[in-house]
């Protein structure tokens, strides 16, 4: 009698874990993290192409795919 009850509980548990319980989607989480790393945020620091100091990306000047900290550095290059 106890063996039959354990067998039924085992089958129910097997069906539950196989079909009902949702599996975690690890690949989607990893993909979202990779996409967030590629995005440029407003508080990211970049190096000036001319003098080499680091500035926030909002404060820089982008010219020819290079970042410059000021108009003077842009004119020097």
Question: What are the pLDDT digits (tens) for 40-58?
Answer: 676 789 999 999 999 998 8
* Model confidence band, residue 35 (pLDDT cutoffs 50, 70, 90): low
Whether 45 contacts 56, CB under 8 Å: yes
Q: Which residue range(s) make up the domain with 18?
A: 2-76
Stated as kind and residue range, the H or E segment containing 62 is strand 61-63
Over residues 70-77, the mean pLDDT reads 90
Q: How many domains does the chain have?
A: 1
Nearest to 55 by CA among 72, 69, 74: 69
């Amino acid at each position: 009698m106890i063996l039959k009850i354990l067998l039924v509980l085992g089958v129910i548990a097997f069906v539950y874990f196989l079909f009902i319980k949702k599996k975690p989607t690890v690949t989607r989480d990893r993909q979202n993290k990779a996409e967030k790393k590629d995005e440029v945020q407003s508080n990211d620091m970049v190096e000036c192409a001319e003098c080499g100091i680091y500035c926030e990306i909002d404060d820089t000047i982008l010219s020819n795919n290079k970042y410059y900290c000021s108009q003077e550095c842009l004119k020097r290059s």
